[in-house]
Amino acid sequence: MTDIAYRRLGDGGVVFDSKSWQTHILTPAAAIIFEALAEINEGEPVPQAQALDFLRDELDVDIDTPEMKEVLRSLEEMGILGG
Amino acid sequence: MIAANPRIRDLPPGLLAQRFSEASVTLDYGAALVRVRTLLKPFVRDFQRVYGAFFLAEEASFADFHTEVCSGKGLRAIFGPQSRFLIDGIQPFDPFPREQALPHFEWGVNWCFGKRFNQHVLLHSGVLALGDRGVIMAAPPGSGKSTLTAAMMLRGFRLLSDEFGVLCPHTGQLWPMLKPVALKNRSIDVIRAYTDQAILGPVYGGTRKGDVVHLAPDEASVDARKLPARPHLVLFPRFREGAALTTRRLPSEEAFARLAFNSFNYGLLGQISFNAVADVIDACSAFELEYSRLDEAIEYLRAMLSESTVAAAAA
C-alpha cells in the first residue's frame, strides 16, 4: 500500500501505483470500494473472500456484474485485494 | 535611433541578421530561453514578423536550448535548398525545404520542449488567462483548439501557450511558453476573416501538416511572459459546423484521465505529474464545449472564468 497514491476527485478517484507505474481511474462506485477496503486492510492486502463478503454484506454490492469484476481486478492489481 | 530594448519588429533587419549570425539571439518564451543561430535570410524576415512583439533577451550565458537553423549540405545548399534544424549541434529530424525554415524551427523547438523540458508537467493544451485566472484548453488535433486560442487572444485574453501547458509541480502555477500560434488549413481563413488586427506570417503551403500560417503573439501577452497563471478552468473544446453552443460538465476522474494521458511527459514523471494534474482537477471545473461561433464561445468562457473566480473566492 505504500506504493499507492490515491486522490479523491469529485465523486470518483484516481490511483497511482508507483510499483507498476500505472494510473487507475476509479468511477464513483470504485472509489467508495477502494476507500472502504483501504480502511479495513491496514496496509496489507485484504483476502479476497473477506473483501467479497464485506462488499456483499456491508456495502450491498452486486459483485457479479462485469463492471464490478473489472473494479476487483484493478484492486487486485494494485495489491488492495489479496489472494 | 533605436530604443534601449526595442521589440524585434523595430530592429533594423540587417542588425537582426547580424545578431542571428553571431548566435546572440536568445528568445525568452517565459518558461524557457532558446538561443538561435542562423544565416538564412528568409528565416530572419519571417521570424521578425511573427516574433515582432518579443524582445531579444539580455545577453546571458545560460539558455535552456541552443539551436541553429542552417542550410542543406553540399549540393543541397544550391539545388532544392533545404533548412536543417540543429539542437546542441545534433540534427534530430530530416531537413525541410528552405522556404519552410520558420515552421521547421517552430516544430524543432516544440520537439525540444516535448523531449527535454521535464522539470515541469507539459500538458498538451493551449493556455490563456484573464489576469492570473488560467484556462487550460486540451483537445486532439483537428478540434479547433488553435483557432479558438487565436481568437481568444485577439479578443483580449492573455496567451500563455498554444501547444504546451507548462504546469509547475511545486507551485501548481501555469507558466507561459509563449510562441506564435500555428494555424493550419481552414483555420487560416477563419482568423483572417475574424479580424484585421491579427498579425500573420506568410502561408507555408504543403507542409507535413498542410498549409500553415503563424499568428504573432500580441504585446500584452509578450509583456506578461514572466507572469504565471493559476488554473481555474479546464476545457475540452470542439468545433462543429453550425453547432449551437453546448457544454457538458465532466466528471472529475474523466477530466483527469483526458488531461493526464494527453500530456507529453505524464508517464515519465509518474507520481509528480499524478499529483500535479490531480491538484489542477481539484481546483478547476472541467467542461466539454462544442461551438461553431467564435465570439459566442469566447463570451461564454469569459463569463465562466468570472464565475469560477467568484466561486473560488466564496469557498
Count the neighbouring beta carbons within 10 Å of the beta carbon of residue B195.
12
Q: What is the pLDDT of residue B141?
A: 84
CA A38 to chain B, closest CA, distance in angstroms equals 19
Interface probe with A: pick from B252, B262, B275, B277, most Cβ of A within 10 Å: B252
Residues 22-51 of chain A whose Cβ lies under 8 A from any Cβ of chain B: 23, 25-28, 31
* Contact between residue B221 and residue B159 where contact means Cβ atoms under 8 Å apart: yes
- Identify the residue whose cell numbers are 521570424: B47
Q: What is the pLDDT of residue A8?
A: 97
Q: What is the pLDDT of residue B185?
A: 92
CA trace torsion B154, B156, B161, B165 (10° rounding)? -140
Q: What is the pLDDT of residue B12?
A: 95
Strands (E), A1-83: 4-9, 12-17, 22-26
CA separation (Å) from B132 to B128, B153, B252, B257? 9, 15, 23, 25
Q: What is the pLDDT of residue B18?
A: 95
Strands (E), B39-108: 65-71, 82-87, 96-97
Q: Which residue has the higher pLDDT, B202 or A78?
A: B202
Contacts of A25 in chain B (CB under 8 A): 253-254, 256-257
Tens place of pLDDT for every residue, chain B, 315 residues? 556 789 999 999 999 999 999 988 999 999 999 999 999 999 999 999 999 999 988 766 789 999 999 987 766 666 667 899 999 889 998 888 888 999 999 999 999 999 999 999 999 999 999 999 999 999 888 889 999 999 999 999 999 999 999 999 999 999 999 999 999 999 999 999 999 999 999 999 988 889 999 999 999 999 999 999 999 999 999 999 999 999 999 999 999 999 999 999 999 999 999 999 999 999 999 999 999 999 999 999 999 988 765 555 555
Q: What is the pLDDT of residue B67?
A: 95
| Beta-carbon pairs below 8 A across chains A and B | 47
CA B148 – CA B146 distance, rounded (Å): 5
| Cβ contact, residue pair A14, B270, below 8 Å | no
CA separation (Å) from B209 to B183, B195, B199, B202? 10, 24, 21, 15
| Cβ contact, residue pair A9, B253, below 8 Å | yes
Q: Please report, for chain B, how many H helices and E strands are present, in that order.
A: 10, 17
Contacts of A16 in chain B (CB under 8 A): 270-271, 274
CA separation (Å) from A82 to A36, A38, A43? 15, 12, 12
CA B252 to chain A, closest CA, distance in angstroms equals 6
Q: What is the mean pLDDT of residues A48-74?
A: 89
Interface probe with B: pick from A4, A6, A9, most Cβ of B within 10 Å: A9
* Contact between residue B34 and residue B64 where contact means Cβ atoms under 8 Å apart: yes
Interface residue A16 vs chain B (CB under 8 A): yes
Q: What is the pLDDT of residue B162?
A: 95
CA B142 – CA B42 distance, rounded (Å): 29
Q: What is the pLDDT of residue A79?
A: 83
Q: What is the pLDDT of residue B274?
A: 98
Residue A15 amino acid letter: V
